[in-house]
Structure 1
Amino acid sequence: FKKLWAGIFFSTGDTDPSSPGGRPAGAAAGNGCGRFTAELCSLYQRVAVAGKPDAGARALLEARSPSAVGARLKVPALLVQGQSDSLFTLAQSDAMARTLTANGAPVAVDWIAGGHDGGDRETDRVERRVSTWFDRWLKRDTSVDTGPAFRVSRTGGVDSTDGRATLRAATADRYPGLTSGTTDLALGGTPQTFTNPPGAAPPAVSAVPGLGGGLSGLSSLGVGLSLDFPGQHARFDAKPQAEALRVTGTPTVRVKVTSTAADGSAVLFAKVYDVGPDGRQQVLPAQLVAPVRVEGAKAGKDVTLTLPAIDHEVEAGHRLRLVVAATDLGYASPVVPARYTVAVEGPLTVPTAPGLSNRAAALPRWVWVLPLLGLTGAAALLLTARRRTAAPAPDPELTGVPLQITGLSKKYKGGDRYSVRDLSFRVERGQVLGLLGPNGAGKTTTLRMLMGLITPDEGEIRVFGQAIRPGAPVLSRVGAFVEGAGFLPHLSGRENLDLYWKATGRPAEDAHVDEALRIANLGGALERAVRTYSQGMRQRLALAQAMLGLPDLLILDEPTNGLDPPQIREMREVMIRYAAGGRTVIVSSHLLAEVEQSCTHLVVMDRGRLVQAGPVAEITGSGSTLLVSLSAEIDDVLVEKIDALPGIGAATRTEGGVLVRLDGIDPTTLIGELVRLDVPLTGVGPHRRLEDAFLTLIGGAA
């Protein structure tokens, strides 16, 4: 009997007779049942006093359950179930999935983060999936993608910018159920005797229904709330894991239970903890516990315990611990004292769902908007679901193009001014592209739109033919270091890299950590806390983080900040070698001499617009930018004369002469015009310095 949840329901339903809706006949005022019908009111009062349902209660509950009509349900069903939910556990969606599948109905199962205990961090994603499900089965639109047959959201780490848990997803083309791909773990420990205390108090704590969400959602990161009182439980440990083990489903174990209660019964609460290497720190996945009532155990009785359904990774060096307790805060227990003895009769069998594959998922929102009633919440969700905005289809002609930006514009918030306006350019494989422009040119805004961090007002960005949206799967092929990297200061450099990669949900062997660490070149500092790092060391660690997984497109925003000259040279060589392997690098920097030495192509921006794009050699030395050498001292009047000539785009004074950008005039005609103006000319030739070409392109100091 779920004591706390039932109490919450009936106490919130006990309304004043004068309130809208009133109270139906048979429901007495102040009886704790409120607007519930008389027969349900009577059921609750009997069960709340007895602590267990009688035969009449069971019959009524079964008659009102969806299981009563399960055999008649044959419509397509999307089952969305919260993992942190002590009211409706994952076993509920499993039972529905098995029933509907047996009826021949199309079924998809989605285990979301949160639940009645854990808040709702995936409202937008679930609403989009509900919309597409309706589009497919109500509108009969066969072109929509309703998603995988099974999806589970997993906590993958912590976003270092705001401390929020990040989510990733694992999917399968069929629902595996709760017992697929099992592994047996031997449990140690002799038979143990413990006590059910008088009045069942104090009770053990697994979860506080409706209130324990923040911690239950972070249980996979080693955070949780649980309490078992000494002398009121037995525990049995498995050996530490040699390698990580992902448990997906319901673990089971066979035990022998003996009870000293007068009727030979025992009420037990079974749970499996993840125990750290020190043996003391333990976390209860999803804060869930399984209640079991055992009858006829006076002389001992063999029982198979079915533990709560969970999706949880046990790290290498950690071990699982089975705890069987006599009490739990959320449930009713016998108030008469008794002693129970529990002995393990077999291994702990854990399901692993081997068919699941991981993929990256969007960062979550941390929203505490939890409906109290499951059916009411589901109905509200379906009624208010917004239609999904479909992403543009992939462009097959651009699948080999790392980046193409077309007509990109973004206005400043709350105004009509543009930070980026009508920007278009293309980047090919093997290029090291320098993104140049003065402060306020729109470079970082462009990079943030490219990463899906902000949405453009107009235009589109395609990476390998895929349109960029927040959380777009193709972003898994992009590594980025934009506006500085956030690290957890108390962790070492290596631990930060490991945690970051875990958050991606990709296999550890795909990280190519050794290559990234060679680039970082931090030596022994890699094992020190990041808070002890210099700025240069943080930059190198950020570069290594961006290069984990050897992404096909690497984006670096001011990567040389804080580096000394040898480190800058090393960074330059890294970028060149990286692109030489067929990958692409985009680097934004103010160090023009470094850009000139490391980049093959340039995009120059000013005031949000594209000024020029092309190979470095074309922009610095050939084509439209020339250096006019003079024999006399250069003054502003002379520069203005040259700038006023027809066909001159811009003229800028520089060391050794005047930089001239041609716009409709050829070099021969230019020389004739300079002679006509009596300019003391000593030569006109191609310019070879990026700094001067850059200043010319953006109009000097503007």
Structure 2
Amino acid sequence: MPARTRAGAGRRRTGGARGFLAAVVTALMIAVGSAAPTGGAPAAAEPGTGTASTPTIRESALRLPVGPEPDGPVTLDVSVFVAAGDGRRPAILLAHGFGGSKADLAQRAQELAQRGYVVATYTARGFGVSGGRIHLNDPRYEIADASALVSHLATHPQVHLDAAGDPRVGVAGASYGGALALMTAALDPRVDAVVPAITWNDLSASLAPSGVLKRQWTSVFFSGALAGGAGPIPTAPAAPAAPVAATTSRLTPPTCGRFAPEICALFLRASAEPSRANLNALAAALRGHSPAAVLPKSTASAATPSRMPPTLLIQGMADSLFGIEQAQSNAADLLAAGATVAMRWFDGGHDGGSIPSDEDMWTWFDRYLTDAGRGRTGMPIAAFSAPVPSLRRGAPPRTLSHDSPPRGIGKIDAATGPDQSTAPLAPTPGAPPAQRLISPPGGAPAAMVTLPGLPGGPDTAALSSTAGIAYRLATLPGQAATFDTTPIQQTVTVVGAPKLRLSVMSTASDATLFLSWWRVTPTGNTLPRRLVTAVKVATTPGRSRTVEVALPAATYVLEQGSTWRVVVSATETGYAVPTDARLYTVSLARATLALPTPAWAQAGAVAADEPDSEVRGVGLALALALAVALAGSLAIRWRSRRVDRHDAREDLADIPLVVDGLVKTYRDGHRAVDDVSWRAERGQIVGLLGPNGAGKTTTMRMIVGLIRPAAGRVYVHGVPVHAGSPVLARVGTLIEGPGFLPHLTGRANLAAYWQLTGRPQDEARLEEALDVAALGDAIDRPVRSYSHGMKQRLGIAQAMLGMPEVLLLDEPTNGLDPPQIAAMRPILRRYADSGRTVVISSHLLAEVEATCTHVVVMARGKVVLEGAVETLTDSAATTIIDLAAGSSPRRAARIAMALRTMPDTRVEVDGVKLAVHSQASRADVVAAVVSAGGAVVGVAGHRKLEEVFLGVIAQGDAAPGGTEPGPEQPDDPGHPPRADGDPDGDPDGDPDGDPDGGPDDGPMPPGGRAGASAATRLDALRQVRAR
């Protein structure tokens, strides 16, 4: 028996995901050997305990003869791993996945050998350099091979024996190897513990659920065997190589690779023609190669204990091949036979995702294989555990655990009870109660929810950015019916498969349907688990049939206020669908969705509005820092209030907002705001206008104390404003967009904001603010589900909390649609009519003209124009003529042609309204209209605010020395505080912000800015009006 020694073989592996994904490419996942270990690696002196040293692992390779094929003998490629040391120890047999080999298990074997086990790995029959063909875990072949390996371990001098020929042994494997492990444990009583992972209970139900063939998975499965080649199949070294090769090629077609001929023929027929007869023949064969066929069915008793060893089932929730329902069936069979069973779900599987830790497997084997473990009572781990998606983006999932046997976990057996709840279900708004689905001829085009190997974990990052595309691919026009829940009333955790009852009618003798479960969001519907349920319903053409169907089993969190959608599709890319054209009619037979919500799973549920332990921990960590800062803050506030009282302006006490000579100069010399002065009176809506870089936002930020001016002051009712001024409690703001906590609902965000103000709750006037937001039921949904416009409306409502005397809104209509903008106008007018003041910074000139009473126009950091909108838009050069209602547009056009003969005259026609721009007097214009046959019923002089604005800006650009406005620079990391202690970055270094380094220049003169500036503005206004 050849042997080789590997020194330092105990070094741990960290790249387990590579083996996991490689198995997806070749077909079914490789064995447990692909999972990334996380626990320590004790040495081999005593199984399950070990020492801190790293022993030398000895690997012995051999060829083990096993049962022959019809055409000759077979040997398997086997390796046995043992750590240095004396004494007997338990053994573990590791089985690989479909398309793999013993090489996939080497690292795992070394780690288990370090823990004190004798570990055997092998390449299964039909793979690698082992002989034989692939029979898909036939008890006569692959399962018999595993029993032969158990017998071989009984002969190993270092394996512990419970009796002659009976080694103390555990078996572990994943996917193909997992079924082999479970079936070996059922058929060989010498197995003492078993850990099967992501495997099947009934292979026929896995590959053809409800009689619908998983065409894509079947093709991947079949091609995995072809990847090994169709050439000569290796057999025992003693057998003549050439005759065996010749016999093989005569018995097996090249297209079958190393599949046994009878299995290959069934696959080929079912894939080419998925008729009921072909599928039934394949299903019968596959069912006999499944744990369901060999697990004991009788209930054990004290007199007749279970012959199944303790079993740890591990199953993934990102698995479109072997879903959670397969592990549930295995658990049910094992528990019925009286076995000790634990079950683990994880966010991974054949479609990728996370990889489960080895800790539970190690703990399981240590408990049931070692002498020390057998001396203990009870299971070493919880009977059931599963991760639950977190409601907070980026947060790790929480883990559910339950100590009772996993009997019926995730299944709904009763109509009511503590482990079940219901959610009202109805057709999606706009959809009829009975929805028609087309199954197109040839089955194409087909919807696509999942494909073999497509990432399937919760909130998959690779697909989150294309949620809208994914939903459109899953709901092709005419092929899908949709049903929505009402908003969830209370956050609940679902463990298992929700169920609903459908009424189905088909034009054929059956209907093939596919169900998926989506979360409805304004930004695009998302699929928490990229899985579908396939259902085939036998029907009588033209007659409906009621059927209960289950959605994909997994863990879900249904957040309060969220809406969920059941999509029923007639096609799915990964499945074989009918090729004849069919029409299905689907409706709800019961208007509720049954949810498996066990009471024990709800205890740890954390609603998105509630702070979790991590948030509370951060709060406690900050408490000390806040306490230290509090003393300094109180001292600064006391000093600030003294300054406020000293610098208050009694003459401005009745004026809500006064901006007096503001200057902001940055370190690079750019003057973003240059001597800006204006005021906003009670009852006014003031629009702050200007091109990009004019200094509007910088001015707004100085008004509320976010940045300090280099010179000038801002007064609210005569009290100077600075950061933290108490007078800011009388100001509501929305500047540069709202900032909300995404996991909180809209209502909770408003409540949290108001709580931070420290003011009584009854002063918030929350209901009035909610009326402004006009979000309806969405106010109780998390903000992360809001559209941009919804967030903007919530931001305006937040600014209005407490109904402040001064309301500052920076681009408030950003993201609002035209009806929402129109609805905002009367709200702001009523707000101002109540004696309050509103200031709006906006680029939408038409909206400012329609909403505001006054405007302030800025350019290059200066105020270039201000005044009442009505005054600024009044123009002697513009005459608006309203013709009589009976006038025709054709007559209005003829009148316009006549007016254009006047010198320097331009006419715009809007139905029966004429806008005449002319140097002629208004009386002459009216006389000319009457002379041309017009019946005048109204005359006004008005020009658009846009013309005034563009005229002033153009005039400023054309002025001598005019320059292009520089970029508006906020007080941010681009202009950080100076190291010399000057917090403003002003060139003078003077903390009072005055550029000359001297005292403040004193109060603003009555009437506003200095005389020269006022004269300049007045002259500019006169020139604009004269145009």
Give the TM-score, by structure 2 length. Answer: 0.34
Larger Rg: 2
Give the TM-score, by structure 1 length. Answer: 0.49
Q: Higher relative contact order by CA 8 Å / sep ≥ 6: 1 or 2?
A: 1
Q: Normalized per residue, which structure has more strand?
A: 1
